[in-house]
A and B are shown apart, each in its own frame.
Chain A
Amino acid sequence: DAGVIQSPRHEVTEMGQEVTLRCKPISGHNSLFWYRQTMMRGLELLIYFNNNVPIDDSGMPEDRFSAKMPNASFSTLKIQPSEPRDSAVYFCASSRGVNTEAFFGQGTRLTVV
């Protein structure tokens, strides 16, 4: 299995632009998590899906952030409009169930200038 695949690995964008991060979970996993990691705030859970349905999005910072999971093999995290304070590494992870081990992608390093 190729593991959790995230794209792009690096993204540099100008303030105000729309950013879309993509994630392909491991086949057969039915839980998917989006995290943001910064030095100041650590690893924050933004949203998680179970069977493609968003269960808890209380970690999404504000309305500029949105996440979708149109099917079991694909999810997106969109930021519109982006701001410099959104600069961080964004991780996607998947698991067989919410109470099992999670497998992480390599992350997307986002820089908003």
Chain B
Amino acid sequence: SQQGEEDPQALSIQEGENATMNCSYKTSINNLQWYRQNSGRGLVHLILIRSNEREKHSGRLRVTLDTSKKSSSLLITASRAADTASYFCAMIGGGADGLTFGKGTHLIIQP
């Protein structure tokens, strides 16, 4: 089944800076979703972008989708220490595939 691949695997930036994470995938998708996971907790949905959308915003989050390149990016602007977490892209491919996740980007915001 489809599985995304996030890049970079780990990212450390200073508080206030912007953080960009990328996701690549292999086959066609219905939509692409981004999730956050704080250490030891369940995943929390951040944003969903449909295959016919190119960009979506939610607060300090901006997601882009390029279906021709089979890639998506998540931008977190004006990062805060509380943004420290792992970020995953998730998608559903064709057919009966369920929602599958990449291995995630571990983001550390230095105060």
Q: A residues bordering B, Cβ < 8 Å? A: 4, 33, 35, 42-43, 45, 47-48, 55-56, 58-59, 91, 93, 95, 98-107
The yes or no answer to B98 lying at the interface (CB within 8 A) is: yes
Could you tell me if A100 and B100 are in contact, using CB atoms closer than 8 angstroms?
A: no
Q: Which of B16-24, B41-49, B59-67, B73-81 contacts A (4 or more CB under 8 A)?
A: B41-49
User: Contacts A43-B101, A106-B41 hold; do A56 and B48 have CB atoms under 8 A apart?
Assistant: no
**Interface residues of B: mostly helix, strand, loop or mixed?**
loop
Could you tell me if B98 and A56 are in contact, using CB atoms closer than 8 angstroms?
A: yes
User: Contacts A48-B98, A101-B48 hold; do A58 and B1 have CB atoms under 8 A apart?
Assistant: yes
In angstroms, Cα B44 to Cα A87, docked, is 23
B53 vs chain A, min Cβ distance (A): 13
Interface string of B22-55 (1 = CB under 8 A from A): 0000000011010000000111110010000000
Residues on B with C-beta less than 8 A from A105 are 42
Choose among B43, B48, B97, B103 the residue that contacts A100 (Cβ–Cβ < 8 A).
B48
Interface string of B67-111 (1 = CB under 8 A from A): 000000000000000000000101010001111111110000000
A29 vs chain B, min Cβ distance (A): 13
B94 vs chain A, min Cβ distance (A): 12
Closest to B46 in A: A101
B31, B43, B45, B102 interface centre (most CB from chain A within 10 Å): B43
